[in-house]
Chains A and B, each alone.
Chain A
Amino acid sequence: MSDFLIINVVIPLVQIGVLLGILGLAAGYIVLAERKVLAFIQSRLGPMRVGPHGLLQPIADSLKLLLKEDLIPGSADKLLYVASPVIVVAMAFTALAMIPFGQGITLLGYHIPGVIADVNVGILLILGISGLTTYGIILGGWSSNSKYPLLGAMRAAAQMVSYEIALTFAVLAGLMVAGTLSMVGIVEAQRDMGVWFVFIQPVAWGIFTIAMVAETNRAPFDMAEAESELVGGFFTEYSGMRWALFFLGEYTAMLVIAAVNVTLFWGGWMRPFPNVEALAFLDVVPSGIWFLLKVTSFLYFYMWIRGTFPRYRYDQLMALNWKSLIPLSILNLLVTGVVMLLLA
């Protein structure tokens, strides 16, 4: 087999296989982790019955969901109803291809990179693809042909479109410092400058972190679901595996956006203080582990705020975005530009 074939076909295929295999399971275990974390915040134990400390719960849950009756409401638009959960999941998984999980390893003389596709406009592509998730949600809510899902879908559309603006402006501020759109390039820029961008762009990071919670429809911004107001929000009518697909999409999207946050602001796969020689012994830990540690902290952050915050109201959510986050992010962009001009 020629090297060309191995590098361009075999390695990516193996990477994709491994990633999909791990992630299908990982999403289930993030759900379990969330249930456990919430349980400990709420002074209870969480799942305990299936396996030791409930460790087999995700498997039992997915089996149950697979075996459930596949129900499509009579008045639903069948094609869109079936397609929308698929859109949500597909978009979330596609975005994962651009995430650099580590430095990569050398195996049998071939270098296997830590990323499936090092696209030169990686971060732009991720934002674009995540933006398409909104279609899955709007179409899912609309095609159910029911009132609560319609309201949920309306909210989701407005919310995700508006928060994307703040999110993108925050990303731009980081990109101005990095000088590249490639996800790998961003991490390498942080290595070369010897500092994580969160210390250069703390405001942008703050905005990004708030906007990412809203972008993934998570508490306290879970308007679209808002089970106490809209019953189940946009997926009220969904059940069984289709419902689970929405869930899978949501948790994978969380993973993606947390990974973008880590890559852009927290040095990606690098160990803490990459420029301090005294800490070189930390390199024993593989770069992938550092990356996962950082991503897990963000996932914990998601669960933590879900356990402690009430839900925003729809209009307050919009006011927060349009009146505070967007002006602030534009100002931040302006200041960054001026400072860079003066330093240049």
Chain B
Amino acid sequence: MLETKEFELNMGPQHPSTHGVLRLVLHLDGETVLDVDTVMGYLHRGTEKLCETRNYYQNVPFTDRTDYLAAPYNNLGYVEAVEKLGGYQVSERALYARMAIVELSRIASHLFWLATHALDIGAQTMLFWCTREREVILDFFEAALGDRLTTSAFKPGGLRRDLPEGWVEAVLEFCSTFPARVEEYETLLNANRIWIERTVGVGVISGEDAIALGLSGPMLRGSGVDHDLRKVLPYGGYETVDFDVPVYPDCDSYSRYLVRMEEMRQSTRIVQQALAKMPEGKITGKAPKMIKIAEGVEAYHVVESPRGELGYYLIGGGKDIPYKCKIRAPSFCNLQAVGPMCKGHLIADVVTVIGTIDIVLGDVDR
């Protein structure tokens, strides 16, 4: 008999499909994955510690750089946590403007997820189709917020400045054409035999396991658990708009794909409603120029980011800087599922699993 032994393969930190600087140590038997060790921290920048050295306004740009594919959502989580901490009121115009912007960021984030996920599975055309629409959304961000990726969109109390002229009309026009684009993507993938074979039954995680591992967002809803913070713990005016939460019970990559595709449609609906409801008036709310929070006052605020449950835990430090800022990052918790989801599958499935989790390494390492 020939002597056989486990084959150890380093996937990453420089690898085309690890979505950044994630490193996976794969223990292989031929092509079958026996075990996965996740190594991370290559993008650790000490965001939480940095937040303890700047004042409440100056911390907003740090939050951009955690989940950089959906920066407005991070801004929202942080800003609303500060508002909760100080009890500040948001103007109604700002409330709906924020809702439209963050839902656009959800669409942009899901588009880029689809682009890279499909590319990992080998469908390279999706990359270009999805970035085409994402570009339009990033242009909206640039027009309204001054930046495309690291938006620093909001400040406690509202937005930094009012929306530019014609912005609302342009966004509404995009919303009227976008669902047809989603259908276009689906014609290329939904009934594609190879796409189905590559995603159905790959990366299965049951609803109970998903809860036990602390997964959230589409990871949870793709496993048949109906849990969306926008419905369960409404924030930022979500209780006033009408939308559905897609839930698919098959627990595999394909059902998570269906969840995200449907979420793009629902987000379009939310944007349309939010812009319709947005009144005229001041976009900056009532928050002092210098925010000071008394020592020991604390607040925890969770929002449903495109990747899942994003939490900001803030403790006041008596001066204008927080004593502590803890971020509950959805990518970090979702990444835990890599091991259980990959075991027994092939190398090609590891790539599918990383894609279906939709991690952003900036969010994982912070």
Contacts and interface: CB of A to CB of B under 8 A. Distances in A.
A310 B348 contact: no
B129 A43 contact: yes
A65 to B, nearest CB: 21
A43 B123 contact: no
A114 to B, nearest CB: 37
B197 A307 contact: no
Contacts of B121: 228, 310-311
A64 interface: no
Interface in B193-233: 194-195, 197-198
B349 interface: yes
B195 A310 contact: yes
**B: interface residue count bin:** 20 to 34
B38 interface: no
Given A151-B31, A228-B119, A309 B194 contact: yes
Contact of B197 (A38, A148, A228, A316): A316
Interface stretch (B9-17, B85-93, B144-152, B239-247): B9-17
Interface string B165-188: 000000000000000000000001
B197 A312 contact: yes
Interface stretch (A21-29, A131-139, A219-227): A219-227
A27 B121 CA distance: 27
Given A44-B128, A219-B122, A313 B349 contact: yes
A220 B122 contact: yes
A229 B31 CA distance: 11
Contacts of A227: 16
Most buried by A among B7, B31, B129, B350: B31
Given A41-B125, A229-B348, A231-B16, A310 B194 contact: yes
Given A42-B125, A43-B128, A229-B351, A315 B192 contact: no
B122 A311 contact: yes
Interface residues of A, number: 29
Contacts, number: 83
A45 to B, nearest CB: 11
Contact of A226 (B125, B127, B348): B348
A53 interface: no
Most buried by A among B7, B121, B348, B350: B348
B118 interface: yes
A313 B16 contact: no
A307 B124 contact: yes
A147 B194 contact: no
Interface string A66-77: 000000000000
A243 interface: no
A308 B192 CA distance: 10
Contacts of A309: 122-123, 192, 194
A184 to B, nearest CB: 38
Contact of A228 (B9, B16, B349): B16
A228 B348 CA distance: 9
A314 interface: yes
Interface in A302-340: 306-316
A314 B16 contact: no
Contacts of A228: 16-17, 119-122, 351
B49 interface: no
B125 A314 contact: no
B347 interface: yes
Most buried by B among A38, A219, A228, A306: A228
Contact of B198 (A230, A231, A306, A313): A313
B45 to A, nearest CB: 27
A222 B194 CA distance: 13
A141 to B, nearest CB: 14
Interface in A188-225: 219-220, 222
Contacts of B338: none
B186 to A, nearest CB: 14
Interface string A153-167: 001000000000000
A42 B129 contact: yes
B132 interface: yes
A314 B346 contact: yes
Given A42-B129, A310-B194, A315 B346 contact: yes
A309 B10 CA distance: 28
B123 A313 contact: no
Contacts of B197: 312-313, 316
B9 A147 contact: yes
Nearest to A307: B125
Contact of B348 (A42, A148, A231, A313): A313
A134 B35 CA distance: 31
A155 B132 CA distance: 34
Interface in B129-156: 129, 132
Contacts of A307: 124-125
Interface string B268-288: 000000000000000000000
A312 B197 CA distance: 8
B257 to A, nearest CB: 12
Contacts of B194: 220, 309-312, 316
Interface in A14-58: 38, 41-44
Contact of A308 (B132, B188, B349): B188
B192 A43 contact: no
Given A44-B128, A306-B124, 20 more contacts: A38-B124, A42-B127, A42-B128, A148-B9, A151-B9, A155-B31, A220-B122, A222-B122, A226-B122, A228-B16, A229-B17, A229-B347, A229-B350, A307-B124, A308-B188, A309-B122, A310-B194, A312-B194, A313-B348, A316-B194
16 contacts: A38-B124, A42-B128, A227-B16, A228-B121, A228-B351, A229-B17, A307-B125, A309-B192, A310-B121, A310-B122, A311-B121, A311-B122, A313-B348, A314-B31, A314-B348, A316-B197
Interface of B: 7, 9-10, 15-17, 31, 118-125, 127-129, 132, 188-189, 192, 194-195, 197-198, 346-351
Task: Give the 5 A-B residue pairs with the shortest CB-CB distance, closest first.
Answer: A311-B122, A42-B128, A310-B123, A310-B122, A310-B121
